[in-house]
Structure 1
């Protein structure tokens, strides 16, 4: 996958301005529809497949975004694809085995938690190509993918979360209590990278505006905070969200697929006008039922990354080079503010645009312990 292709599909470029105004609102990639003349073709034997994490493909978040990318690629290529859903960690290996047995030639695994199963399958089946979302496929931590037929699809979401944290702090300062919070599903890098960027963005707002907006639920220095232990929307997730709300927060960032539903339920029960930030997809479009409480979403274009990887694989040009989505290449960014745009503090969007450009230019370096690094292929 090339950066130029990613820019084309996302509909943004670094020079085009603020991603929150141009991110395409979380829509699927737009290219030639199935059957159009001169469209891409795949080898007759090409069979792409995709396996979800335990959140399932209807999570309105990273699993669903990955499936969208797969669907669009299959449509353009006029091929059938297969999808399997993992309901728990015990499904990962059997699901991978089922896809191999089913004749899949390109397998996309969605999520950090599928790393071990993906690596084992790739080693056992060197003629099958793999891509994995949110994991470098480097269990040895030696800077190399553990199999030459795996392509990692990673995202530096700390950059976009930094903008989200700044926006949350500005909103809380203007409309609320100067208290914001976050909590996660599992404490894994694709989750904590959001939380790191969010807290640092709040701190940037405080430094620039001489304010004292407090953050609850995550400590960047100690890497300790509030987690539900899973990605399911359940009583545990709702209680965790409620614990953050009980601190007096008026903006909350739930990181972990469906757990946002539990956060939304806790917000509605509180009746205090709290808003939340979405992650991975533009929640206003992915799930309109929460649009009245979503200030903005921190997006990573998993749909585009998966689409591009599958298209390249179909052409016979499998490239194991690690992809990292950034603000610069349009792989991450903020969604529009939608219904909240008219209620934002004066000058906020200009400030976010400036911050984004400074990050792109390297004048501001957003770092997280989970910042992805490109692994070389074995």
Structure 2
């Protein structure tokens, strides 16, 4: 099954129920490696933590880089040397995992939804090796449960934080048009776009406004076909800028860099919204463009899981990041603090409370 086929099946079948059923099972990772009760100790003598990236590389200033930072932080604390291998395309996933198995890795972290199929097959074939899957529950046979007991899923309901970003974007927009585009139409990409669109719609409903969302209709939209900052990403951003948007949300690792170049070339006041990390901090070259970023706690989740595994305390309970457990969140407005409405932060705080208590529902593939 190809990634694109698996993506469409995943979005509508049993894998969704895995996350819904287990959404309360994982507490938030600690901000330091303590939540598993495994702080500060040395690793078991033969422990070797390893990681396979998705396309985009470990310097993508986004989800691959966050995973890498979590891995290296844990490895430093444990006193071990991690092994990493970078994927450039789908065809690299299985061979890269095999190469890590051949190097006697005891824990393999796979970064991204696209690696789930290869990770699941490898985990079932190697029950003595522990796996951590970022952004997928690894239910390749769609039976409603993770494929193997040696896999720990770490997933994020980023639609909740993206809802806040959409509301903020609508509040900021004077053009009454905001845009979004993604790398590929995976659930872990479109979940940002879904939440963003719902946040704009909530603003419109609350304020009697008519801010339009371009680039995502709730099912399909503008995608570059990959996760590289290339001409395809420039073209996608340019198409939305040409339609007059004044806020732009690119979802897919380094493709935000292409969006930033288009914004600068336009000569217009167009705000950028980052994803995964607080991009203001990870990439100062675009800091002046950033309204905010939609954060995922990938680095902290990986650090916690690797620390636990290194001390013989591997835990396969899924972690689902939400606003309630601080697994997802909205970054500060930074340089835009003086440019947004003085009422905006208070409104976002109220919305956050509503999302957490369920009075403001936010739909995503994790809870449909």
* CA shift for structure 1 position 3: 6.0
Q: Which residue of 2 aligns with 1:180?
A: 178
Q: SS in structure 2 opposite 1:357? A: helix
Matches within 5 A, 1:310-349: 310-349=306-345
Give the C-alpha shift of residue 148 in structure 1: 1.5
Aligned equivalents of 2:157 and 2:287: distance in 1? 25
Contact 1:155 1:372 in 2 (8 A): no
**Of 252-261 and 85-94, the range deviating more from structure 2:** 85-94
Match of 2:366 in 1: 371
Paired residue for 1:165? 166
Specify which of 345, 351, 366 is matched with residue 347 of structure 2. Answer: 351
8 Å Cα contact 2:51-2:85 kept in structure 1 = yes
Task: String of CA shifts for 1:51-99, please: whole Å, max 9, x gaps.
Answer: 1001100000000000111011111111111011111111111110100
Shift of 1:319: 1.6
Q: Is the 8 A contact 2:26 2:317 kept in 1?
A: no
- Give the structure 2 partner of residue 361 of structure 1: 357
Q: What is the distance in 1 between the residues matched to 2:27 and 2:152? A: 18
Shift of 1:314: 1.4
Cα RMSD for the two superposed structures: 1.6
Q: Which residue of 1 aligns with 2:21?
A: none
Distance 1:277 1:307, change over 3 A: same
In the TM superposition, what is the alpha-carbon distance from 1:338 to its structure 2 partner? Answer: 0.5
Tell me, yes or no, if structure 1 residue 277 matches structure 2 residue 280: no
User: What's the counterpart of residue 199 of structure 1?
Assistant: 197
**In 2, distance between residues paired with 1:310 and 1:364?**
35
Give the Cα separation in 2 of the matches to 1:158 and 1:356.
Answer: 12
Q: Deviations over 1:184-215 (max 9, x none)?
A: 00100100000000000000000111101011
Give the 3-state SS of the residue equivalent to 2:338 in structure 1.
helix
CA contact (8 A) 2:28 2:319 kept: no
User: SS of the counterpart of 2:303?
Assistant: helix
- CA separation in 1, counterparts of 2:50 and 2:152? 14
The within-5 A match list for 1:211-250 is: 211-220=209-218, 223-250=219-246
- C-alpha contact (below 8 Å) 1:154/1:372 kept by paired residues: no
**Post-superposition shift, 1:372?**
6.3
Which residues of structure 2 form unaligned runs of 5+?
Answer: 1-23
Residues 55 and 232 in structure 1, CA contact (< 8 A), matched pair in contact too? yes
1:5 Cα offset (Å)? 6.0
Correspondences of 1:1-378 after superposition (within 5 Å): 6=29, 8-9=30-31, 29=32, 39-172=40-173, 176-220=174-218, 223-368=219-364, 370-371=365-366
How far, CA to CA, are the matches of 1:291 and 1:165 in structure 2? Answer: 19
What count of residue pairs does the alignment treat as equivalent?
A: 341
How many Å separate the matches in 2 of 1:3 and 1:145?
A: 14
Q: Is the 8 A contact 2:28 2:325 kept in 1?
A: no
Contact 1:160-1:299 at 8 Å conserved across structures: yes
1:308 is displaced (CA, Å) by 1.0
Q: Secondary structure at the match of 1:219?
A: coil
Query: Do 1:241 and 1:266's aligned partners in 2 also have CA atoms closer than 8 Å?
Result: yes
Between the aligned partners of 1:289 and 1:139, the Cα distance in structure 2 is 39
Residues in 1 aligned to 2:275 and 2:27: alpha-carbon distance in whole angstroms: 24
1:30 offset after TM fit, Å? 7.6
Conservation of the 8 A alpha-carbon contact between 2:136 and 2:154: yes
Match of 1:12 in 2: none
Question: What TM-score do the two structures reach when normalised by structure 2?
Answer: 0.90
Mean Cα deviation higher: 276-285 or 116-125: 116-125
Q: Which runs of 5+ in 1 are unaligned?
A: 10-28, 32-37, 374-378
Compute the displacement of 1:119 (Å): 0.8
